A and B are shown apart, each in its own frame.
Chain A
């Protein structure tokens, strides 16, 4: 408890885009409930605080920490350990912390490939070919930046996590519901879910929330949504050949994308009980391909040019394989 008697709250971003912070602010007036019930002690996006302030806090003195972002470098991991030590409840908040998300797709490339692409490709004006150095001697002394890891890790690959809150970003109404629950717990009106649970989402799949009509699926080719002249507004997108990931993705968003006429891309992560999200999708997609002829099957699969991008867009770092061999090679491990 702080001097004002309120429990402490922290939020941190590691390798992420900042969308999770926006999503938290997007809960509108409920943010006042956060302020009324918590003392915000550490939230780099919203307020000024230093790591040494957190280091000075007693262990377990922060009641609730929302940690978003994957573990991309030494700094991310150091702060993950620090916040684990100082927090009673550590929530992997958002897809990056839960399963790696878009930054996790860098696990397909080695560190060298990533650096070449960022600092030496046509997209960058860098005539002197400057690359980041982890230490540099300035007149004032030597300065350091954190080392990048060859493979992005999810939060729970680094420290034990109490709860998972999926979504890219988590939907505001789901954040609101979780905050309501935590406030009730503080007032003794509710109890916390079991450790390791996924909060702010349901257990089934996006299909359960999707209003589109579903029939037996038989697919002769996969199509990009922009290549279809007219997408049937009422029919299951997968039946129309559009690779929709809803059937393996956790329910929680209210099927926003399929309702708006776009395929689900899987930002809510695997549904309850699914061990490897991409494997589940492969099972499903392969089942609905309408062919028994090996050559034709290969031709149909050619219409899915980027299987990893399709099946692991949000999930690569949290999948069974976790990274590609070239990324592991950057680690010198393989």
Chain B
């Protein structure tokens, strides 16, 4: 991004196949607008969200991460969204200790019918992160060392 352009936050959104991903779909078919700053990644469940994904996103240039899942009690896999909730709390505390503002990590429940709500939450989060400014976490420095060019494959972080 050049210096003259205003800061556009990059937000990685993790969505659940059974609810929030469909909510995003619904928002699309209903022509509800939300800012293009978010890049959605579909998981089978918010319980699939390994904190590794969030830290990899932040360490590789994302300014914020949005985690979405089914409302409590409505998880397709019974109670995995509660695990997501606990991981989110723990992750937020850990990242706060590393100096990452809690506002950059957000958890939102959105059912498949809540396209409007999801779009609103995305819009709200983009504005919040915009006001926090760029995260700019230093990346691995290019040419040095083995791990410099390390790319994470999804399989490597499989539970």
Contact = CB atoms under 8 A, between A and B. Distances in A.
A17 interface: no
Q: Is the interface of B mostly helix, strand, loop or mixed?
A: helix
Nearest to B150: A275
Contact of A275 (B58, B140, B148, B157): B157
Interface in A173-187: none
A160 B90 CA distance: 34
Interface residues of A, number: 43
Contacts of B148: 157
B55 A334 contact: no
A310 to B, nearest CB: 9
B159 A283 contact: yes
B59 A159 contact: no
A160 B156 CA distance: 21
B124 interface: no
A43 B145 CA distance: 24
B144 A283 contact: no
A287 B159 CA distance: 12
B52 A311 contact: no
A148 interface: no
Interface string A316-334: 0001111111101001011
B39 interface: no
Among A156, A276, A291, max chain B CB count under 10 A is at: A276
B100 A282 contact: no
Contacts of A282: 51, 87, 90-91, 94
Given A279-B52, A307-B93, A322-B59, A287 B86 contact: yes
A301 B93 CA distance: 9
Interface residues of B, number: 39
Given A279-B50, A328-B138, A160 B98 contact: no
A334 B90 contact: no
B58 A321 contact: yes
A282 B89 CA distance: 10
A326 B99 contact: yes
Contacts of B87: 282-283, 286-287
Contact of B79 (A157, A276, A292, A324): A292
A54 interface: no
A320 B138 CA distance: 10
Given A286-B87, A334-B138, A325 B147 contact: no
Contacts of A291: 86
Contacts of A196: 146
Contacts of B82: 292
A297 B55 contact: no
B85 interface: yes
B137 interface: yes
Given A283-B87, A328-B137, A333-B138, A307 B145 contact: no
Interface of B: 50-52, 54-56, 58-59, 72, 79, 82-83, 85-87, 89-91, 93-95, 97-100, 136-138, 140-141, 144-148, 152, 156-157, 159
Q: List the 6 shortest-distance A-B pairs measured between CB atoms, nearest first.
A: A325-B99, A286-B86, A279-B51, A279-B52, A286-B87, A307-B94
Given A157-B144, A291-B86, 19 more contacts: A158-B144, A158-B145, A159-B145, A161-B146, A275-B56, A278-B51, A278-B94, A279-B54, A287-B87, A301-B89, A301-B90, A301-B93, A304-B93, A307-B90, A320-B56, A321-B58, A321-B95, A322-B59, A333-B138
